[in-house]
Structures are given as structure tokens and as C-alpha cells.
Amino acid sequence: MQDQGEPGVPNVPVVLKDGNGKQLATTKTGQDGKYLFDSLPDGSYQVCFDRAKLPPAYADWLWTKPNAGDDGKDSDADPATGCTQVTTLGPGKREDLTLDAGIRPPDRLGDFVWADTNG
């Protein structure tokens, strides 16, 4: 879930696909983490994010759990594919500005191993 104050991630490649998975357009997120595909005709679409192309500072980060709450604040990207579910635009639904992706740092464990030379 996106909490208040968590920053957007800039320069993330975003791919727009039609309902059959055909690539239609690409863009990158802005400095604020936002992206937009506009002037779309009626039809079915999905948005895909490529974790392998995240900016270097986020290279080992993982997708957050999708559809975990408020649609405006949770991630919509499937962790296996990086793609959202297909959404349909047309009469009665001219825009869907809730298709986003959350990333989180990986879990880590560690400390230090030493040689106790004085026993």
C-alpha cells in the first residue's frame, strides 16, 4: 500500500498493451513517478511494468502485493508478469487512472562473522 509521503519512482518504463497483449505504446514515469497514455480509442487495455528495467537504485526491489486494498493506493501489477489486469474504456468509463505498481526493498538478514583469536 502506498502510504503518505512515499515517493514516486522516476524513469520506469511503462508499456501499454491492448486486451490481447499487443504492445501499443511506451512511456516512462516522470520525476513524480506518474505516467499517462491519453487520447485512446474505446477498447481494452493493460499496462505493464518491467522490473528488470527499474532505475539502478531500485534494481533488486520486488513488486508489492497487488490489489491489497484501496484501488488508488495499492499496486495493480501482477508480481509474475508486471502487468495489470485488462481494463475496458468506452461509454460509461472514459478513463482509469488507478493502474499503478508498487515496489519494495527485498527482505535482508545479516551481520558479521569474526575470528575470536583470543578465545
The reported pLDDT for the residue numbered 7 is: 86
Specify the amino acid at residue 65: K
Mean pLDDT, residues 40-62: 94
Q: Quick one: which of 18, 9, 8 has its CA closest to 87? A: 18
Write b or e for each residue in 9-44: b if 16 or more Cβ atoms lie within 10 A of its Cβ, otherwise e: beebbbbbbeeeeeeeeeeebeeebebeeeeeeeee
Q: How many domains does the chain have?
A: 1
The reported pLDDT for the residue numbered 45 is: 98
Q: How many CA atoms lie within 13 A of 39 on its CB side?
A: 1
Q: Percent of the chain having pLDDT more than 70?
A: 92
The reported pLDDT for the residue numbered 71 is: 57
CATH number of 47's domain: 2.60.40.10
Residue 113's alpha-carbon distances to 27, 78, 110, 116, in angstroms, are: 46, 38, 9, 10
Mean pLDDT, residues 43-65: 92
Tens digit of pLDDT for each residue in 60-75?
A: 998 888 766 655 567 8
- Which is more confident, 25 or 115? 25
Please give the residue range of the domain that contains residue 8: 1-119
